[in-house]
Amino acid sequence: MTTPHRKRPAPTPIITSLITPWIPSPATRLAPLALLAFAMAGCAHIPQDSAPLPQRDVAGASLAADIHLAHQGWPAARWWTGYGDRQLDALMTQALASAPSLEVAAAHIGSAHAALDTSSAALGVELDGHADVNRQRYSGTGLFPAPIGGSYFTEENLRLEARYHFDWWGKNRAQIAAAVGELNAQRASYAHAEQALAAAIAQTYFRLQATWARLDNTNGQLAVQAELVRDQAKRMARGLAASDTAHAAQAELAQLKKQQAQLQADAGASREALRALLGADARALADLKPQPLSATPHALPAHLGMDLLARRPDLQAARWQVQAALSQTEAVQAAFYPDINLSAAFGLNSISYQHLLQGASRTLYLAPTLNLPLFDSKRLDAQLASARSQRDEKIAAYNQAVVQAVRDVAQDSLALQGVEQQLARQAEATEAASAQLRSVQSRAAHGLADRRSELAAQLALLRQQDSALALTHAQLQAEVALTQALGGGYRNDTAPMQTRATN
């Protein structure tokens, strides 16, 4: 007898939904794409840059027609060697090797290097290894029934994770460019600190030498004035001079002693200032000796232009700060676009260490992620506005630095030019005083002039020589200031470093 075929009941809707593969309709397939396009269009909206600040062009910078010196050119890198003073050369070598002011600039360069390394690392693949063991008792009345529930299990994990960030919109590259710009700016700032230190050491050294020279001249004036006082006393004792003349000579002697004390104090202050610049101990300048003041041939370029930008480290630092700010603005702007990352992990997982290294214990994890900035309460807009404001600040600082650099060169050139003119007139006055002394000495040799006239002529010549020393010191100070204003021999060499860092 044939057993009748029993009809299988139809599955319930819930079971059907679990065992039947889901086949999306065409409209359903297009919905995510439309949503994605809408989201990308929304997050790509970047606020317009209303009024970007333009950078000042230094190409046409030039000096006024009435500013000119005897020679044209630029300072050399080791400009101080032109003075031919071995003491100054030794001081410069010591200072540039270990001065405290340069240690701060070097630390800033180290920080910029670290920031560049951090930004560069964001472009690479991250690879991490993890290993952990944990022992856990599962609840007997929880999600897992017996025999898992109510039992203890030890779980071992070995996992290797990798992550890669796709820099679709150049955010990381812009951050690297900003870090390179900051590093170049710190390198230029270090060169500027070296220049400022060298100029300060040279000016302080010349101030010390000028003070010693004027002190020696003052001692000579004191000797002549003391002899004049004795001569006046003899003449007054013989009734050949009035007492007011003797009192005037005494007052002049007291004034010279006051000047001597002031110069001695100035020499001590200059020595201590020089020691502080070197960061040296109290015995460092014990062997420093007086040297005759001598000016070095100086030069002034007829046109400044881009050479001034290339040779002034402070301008280079300001320019690199602008480049870093521009790149940082690009990086902030890239945050408006979708961010796509890829993470993957491969490992072993087992609740029994005997099976941990078996093929059945392997695990695999792959997770591409897409982040869309849909709504952030204007946070990105505020960050971009802040970046643009900082960019404009750097541009304004650069523009001001350009104007300041041209003004420094012009003012220092005019100051040096004025001192040179004064020195020419002073040379005439000194020669006239010397001629007067020779004339008085010649007349005294023939009995036509007394000792008092000869001493007065000597004193007049010493005073003119003191004025010449003061002007020579002013000339040296102006020369060093002009050298610093022209960049002090600095040349921009950051382009090769920028290429290496970017690569």
pLDDT 10s digits, 169-224: 777 788 888 888 888 888 888 888 888 899 999 999 999 999 999 999 999 999 99
Model confidence band, residue 51 (pLDDT cutoffs 50, 70, 90) = low
Is 273 a member of any domain?
Answer: no
Q: Which long-range contacts (CB under 8 A, 24 or more apart) does 268-271 make?
A: 270/204, 270/207, 270/208, 270/211, 271/208
- What number is the average pLDDT over the span 472-495? 84
- Does the pLDDT at position 29 exceed 70? no
d(CA 300, CA 309): 15
Quote the pLDDT of residue 99. Answer: 74
Is 272 a member of any domain?
Answer: no
How far is CA 468 from each of CA 183, 281, 407, 439, 456, rounded to the nearest angstrom?
47, 34, 28, 21, 19
- What number is the average pLDDT over the span 401-413? 88
Q: What percent of the chain has pLDDT over 70?
A: 81
- Residues 351, 473, single domain; the answer is no
Quote the pLDDT of residue 13. Answer: 39
Model confidence band, residue 425 (pLDDT cutoffs 50, 70, 90) = very high
Is 389 a member of any domain?
Answer: yes
d(CA 26, CA 113): 54
Q: What percent of the chain has pLDDT over 90?
A: 23
Model confidence band, residue 272 (pLDDT cutoffs 50, 70, 90) = very high
DSSP notation for 407-455: HHHHHHHHHHHHHHHHHHHHHHHHHHHHHHHHHHHHHHHTTSS-HHHHH
- What number is the average pLDDT over the span 295-307? 72
Q: Which long-range contacts (CB under 8 A, 24 or more apart) does 276-285 make?
A: 277/95, 277/99, 277/101, 277/197, 277/200, 277/201, 277/204, 278/91, 278/94, 278/95, 278/99, 278/201, 279/95, 279/98, 279/99, 279/100, 280/94
Which two structure tokens, joined as six digits, stand for 274? 């020089």
**172 touches 332 (CB < 8 A):** no
- Residues 366, 460, single domain; the answer is no
Is 260 a member of any domain?
Answer: no
Model confidence band, residue 327 (pLDDT cutoffs 50, 70, 90) = confident
The sheet that has 362-371: what strands, in order across it? 126-137, 152-165, 339-350, 362-371
- Residues 160, 179, single domain; the answer is no
Residue 155's φ and ψ, nearest 5 degrees, are -115, 130
- Residues 465, 431, single domain; the answer is yes
Is 396 a member of any domain?
Answer: yes
Task: Name the DSSP class of 31.
Answer: H
Lowest mean pLDDT among 98-102, 155-159, 253-257, 472-476: 98-102
Is 176 a member of any domain?
Answer: yes
- Residues 395, 292, single domain; the answer is yes
- Does the pLDDT at position 306 exceed 50? yes
Model confidence band, residue 497 (pLDDT cutoffs 50, 70, 90) = very low
Total domains, the chain: 2
- Residues 331, 290, single domain; the answer is yes
**Residue keyed to tokens 């979708």:** 338
Mean pLDDT score of the chain? 79
**498 touches 320 (CB < 8 A):** no
Which amino acid would we find at residue 391? R
Q: What is the CA radius of gyration of the chain?
A: 41
- What number is the average pLDDT over the span 329-345? 80
- Beta-sheet strands, E only, within 53-96: none
Range of the domain at 358: 127-166+340-372
DSSP notation for 349-393: EESSGGGTTSGGGEEEEEEEEEE-----TTHHHHHHHHHHHHHHH
| CATH number of residue 116's parent domain | 1.20.1600.10
* Of 304, 307, 312, the residue nearest 413 (C-alpha): 304
Cα 472 from chain centroid? 33
Is 221 a member of any domain?
Answer: no
Domain boundary among 372, 390, 420: 372
- What number is the average pLDDT over the span 306-327? 85
**Residue keyed to tokens 């970047």:** 46
Between 189 and 431, whose confidence is greater?
Answer: 431
**184 touches 497 (CB < 8 A):** yes
Quote the pLDDT of residue 370. Answer: 74
- Does the pLDDT at position 486 exceed 60? yes
Which two structure tokens, joined as six digits, stand for 321? 């700060």
- Residues 109, 140, single domain; the answer is no
Quote the pLDDT of residue 248. Answer: 85
- What number is the average pLDDT over the span 37-52? 60
- Residues 174, 296, single domain; the answer is yes
Is 29 a member of any domain?
Answer: no
How far is CA 142 from each of CA 134, 147, 153, 295, rounded to the nearest angstrom?
19, 12, 15, 94
Quote the pLDDT of residue 71. Answer: 67
Let me know if 456 is exposed, middle or buried by CB neighbors in 10 A (0-12, 13-18, 19+). Answer: middle
| CATH number of residue 131's parent domain | 2.20.200.10
- Residues 320, 450, single domain; the answer is yes
Between 130 and 458, whose confidence is greater?
Answer: 458
Lowest mean pLDDT among 14-23, 179-188, 428-437, 459-468: 14-23
**496 touches 469 (CB < 8 A):** no
Model confidence band, residue 60 (pLDDT cutoffs 50, 70, 90) = low
Q: What angle do CA 289, 468, 474 make, to 5 degrees?
A: 75
Which two structure tokens, joined as six digits, stand for 133? 């063991």
- Does the pLDDT at position 432 exceed 80? yes
- Does the pLDDT at position 1 exceed 80? no
Quote the pLDDT of residue 338. Answer: 78
- Does the pLDDT at position 493 exceed 70? no
3-state helix, strand, coil split of the chain in percent (to 5) is 60, 10, 30
Quote the pLDDT of residue 376. Answer: 67
- Residues 445, 345, single domain; the answer is no
Quote the pLDDT of residue 120. Answer: 67
- Does the pLDDT at position 5 exceed 50? no
Quote the pLDDT of residue 461. Answer: 95
- Residues 363, 477, single domain; the answer is no
- Does the pLDDT at position 135 exceed 90? no
Phi-psi region of 293 (alpha: psi -120 to 50; beta: other; left: phi over 0): beta
Domain boundary among 372, 391, 418: 372
- Residues 115, 140, single domain; the answer is no
Model confidence band, residue 43 (pLDDT cutoffs 50, 70, 90) = low
- What number is the average pLDDT over the span 37-64? 63
